[in-house]
Amino acid sequence: MATQKTTTPTTPTDPLTLEVVDLIGAVVARYHEEYEEAAAGHALTGAQARLLSLLSLEPLPMRRLAQKLRCEPSNVTGIVDRLEARGLVERRPDPKDRRVKLAAATEEGGRLARGLRESLDFAREPLAGLSREERLALRGLLRRMLDA
């Protein structure tokens, strides 16, 4: 079960902070929109594409996939079933614990995940307009925000 952050109201948020929050929201919305379109171009739902993308990095147990996708394990089972039927994912025993099944991308699933990632131009094109130093600064700021 996800824990909910509680915030204590302090001072009113300044206009600059509100604008930055709105801009971050716009970036996230545009990214999700393009991701959904790219997934549909490969006859995948957004959830299937996200799961396949995770599995292209490493095989994972269903429970861990559910945590990463922030959904119920039963939903993950259905998504894996559909991807497995297409030959994009396979189940295999965990070498550390043979009672646990890992979901893993097949070679074809890995190729599709790479193709999907490469088709996402939205973030790549604007970032290419930033210098290396600006991208490093942005990465550092985003990491700091996520660690807070």
Q: Does residue 4 carry a pLDDT above 70? A: no
Q: Is 124 strand, coil or helix?
A: helix
- Return the residue matching tokens 């996520």: 146
Which pLDDT tens digit goes with each residue over 16-47?
999 999 999 998 888 888 889 989 999 999 99
Q: Residue 10's pLDDT is what? A: 55
Q: Does residue 6 carry a pLDDT above 70? A: no
Q: What is the pTM of this model?
A: 0.74
Q: Residue 117's pLDDT is what? A: 87
Identify which of 144, 56, 142 has the alpha carbon closest to the alpha carbon of residue 105.
Answer: 56
Distance CA 70, CA 125 (A): 29
Distance CA 71, CA 74 (A): 8
Range with lowest mean pLDDT among 11-20, 84-93, 131-140 = 11-20
Which pLDDT tens digit goes with each residue over 55-100?
999 999 999 999 999 999 899 999 999 999 999 999 999 999 988 8
60-61 and 97-105 beta bridge pairing = antiparallel
Average pLDDT estimate for 137-141: 94
Question: What one-letter code names the amino acid at 25?
Answer: G
